Amino acid sequence: MNQAIYVGIILIALLGMPLFLVLLTVAGVGFSFADIDLIVIGIELYRITDSTVLMALPLFAFAGFLLSESNTAQRLVRLSRAALGWMPGGMMLIALLTCAFFTMLTGGSGVTIVALGALLYPALTQSNYEPRFSLGLLTTSGSLGLLLPPAIPLILYGIIAQQMDIPGVDIVDLFIAGLIPALLMILALYGYGLWANRRQPIELVPFNWQECKVALRETVWELLIPVIVLGGVFSGFFVLSEAAAVTALYVLIIETFVYREITARALLKAMRESLIMVGGILLILGSAMAFTNLLVFNNVPFMLFDLIGDRVTNPWVFLILLNILLLILGAFLDIFAALVIMVPLILPLAMKFGIDPIHLGVIFVANMQIGYFTPPVGMNLFIASYRFKKPIGELYRATLPFLGVLLAVVLLITYVPWLSLVFVR
């Protein structure tokens, strides 16, 4: 009987039942069979609201959506071109840094491709980069900033770890841990780009100090955003939730009253879209915590560890299997859904193998951001196909070399914990 009910739930899920309802239904059925009062589900849904860190999510998301509604992307491209266009592979480096910085500010990978694609793709091809190379570069660069603070996926990972009472997981530590891996990814793609275009007569933009000053003056207000967040949090002047509130207010003021690019309609749109996104995350998070409690009650994590422990005894083997699993999940699931479902299962298991939870968070997000453009169903592939009006097969071929480069970096991050933990532990 129990198995028939769970099979029915799975079938309904495959037909399109929302994820949070699937998790709540499974938790409710499981607790009912165990004769546990279903009030525990309500307690879990309420318990996540007790986290002060959680307040940072909607505020950072709101700031990100505001920036995506303004002309921030154009200003960043102009400044990058003026400052870096003279370097070897300058336009390529401009694309990498601009995409990473914009994703860092907005927290959305697909948003970056939509906002910057129309600016950077023509600029790359006009600088004599091949169309296929340009497509691959922009499709893969769209998710580069997900490890840079204020990284919403890292915040979510930290919240889940803290709800599980995992010691030594601080959001600020996660921010610090993601800096070197993110920089490595950018440098690796830049190095590959220089090698791939070594025989191409790439156009360089002569350095113009006057243009650089004008572009810097235009962008200076937005360049202060990471200074406010990082400076405030790392100095101890703000806790994360206060930094998020200050950031949201600051972005609202500069985009509405300084740049005057946010109309009342755009403001309402940013508010609505950020609340929808965060509301979805919170529903899934609360449901996943109730589901996790059911798994813990039934000793599933311990059975999983025994099952894997009988077959995998080497932490290195566990990590490579974990990378494969996360890449597959990243291609099929949204990063937030993957985090709330898999972290409660994987985190205790990883700690049994002696893996630092901060290091695991970086591994998790690094794999998930590659999953965005992993064939066959990585979300960025379809967004780029729509944005650049190219067949999806062409996007597959364009991104494969970049995928290989970033996979190599992920392996380096995975097996050299020092890269993530040097400034943390």
66-118 confidence digits (pLDDT tens): 887 888 877 877 887 787 777 787 788 888 888 888 788 776 666 677 667 77
Q: In angstroms, what CA-CA distances link 285 with 278, 295, 371?
A: 10, 15, 21
Q: In this structure, is residue 177 part of a structural domain?
A: yes
Helices (H), 15-51: 19-33, 39-47
User: Does the residue 273 lie in any domain?
Assistant: yes
Torsion sign over Cα 284, 285, 290, 292: positive
Q: What is the mean pLDDT of residues 130-142?
A: 88
* pTM of the model as a whole: 0.78
Name the percent of the chain lying above pLDDT 70: 87
Residue 236 falls within a domain, yes or no?
yes
Instruction: Examine the pLDDT at 230 and tell me if it is beyond 80.
Output: no
Assess whether pLDDT exceeds 60 at residue 2.
no
Give residue 419's pLDDT. Answer: 92
Mean pLDDT on 55-72: 80
| pLDDT at residue number 187 | 93
pLDDT of residue 14: 65
pLDDT at 10: 66
Q: Which two tokens stand for residue 67?
A: 């920036």
Which carries the bigger pLDDT value, residue 203 or residue 148? 148
Ranking 139-143, 301-305, 393-397, 399-403 by mean pLDDT, the lowest is: 301-305
| Residue 31 belongs to a domain | no
Number of domains in the chain: 1
Q: Which two tokens stand for residue 80?
A: 């990058």
**How many Å apart are CA 87 and CA 342, to the nearest integer?**
42
| CA dist., res. 78 & res. 90, Å (int) | 13
DSSP, res 278: H
Establish if 5 belongs to a structural domain: no
- Any idea what DSSP says for residue 255? I
215 lies in some domain: yes
Would you say residue 6 lies in a domain? no
Query: How far is Cα 295 from Cα 290, in angstroms, rounded to an integer?
Result: 9
Q: Domain of 355?
A: 53-421
Report the pLDDT value the prediction gives residue 4, as an integer from 0 to 100: 62
Indicate the pLDDT class of residue 1, thresholds 50, 70 and 90.
very low
What was the pLDDT predicted at 425?
73
Question: Can you tell me the distance from the alpha carbon of 181 to that of 187, in angstroms, rounded to the nearest whole number?
Answer: 10
Judge whether 192 lies within some domain: yes
pLDDT digits (tens, 9 = 90+) for 174-223: 989 999 999 999 999 999 998 988 777 666 667 778 888 888 888 888 88
Question: For the residues 146-156, what does the mean pLDDT come to?
Answer: 84
User: What percent of the chain has a predicted confidence (pLDDT) above 90?
Assistant: 13
Tokens of 31: 């607790």
Pick from 403, 315, 393, 314: nearest CA to 356: 315
* Tokens found for residue 172: 């600020």
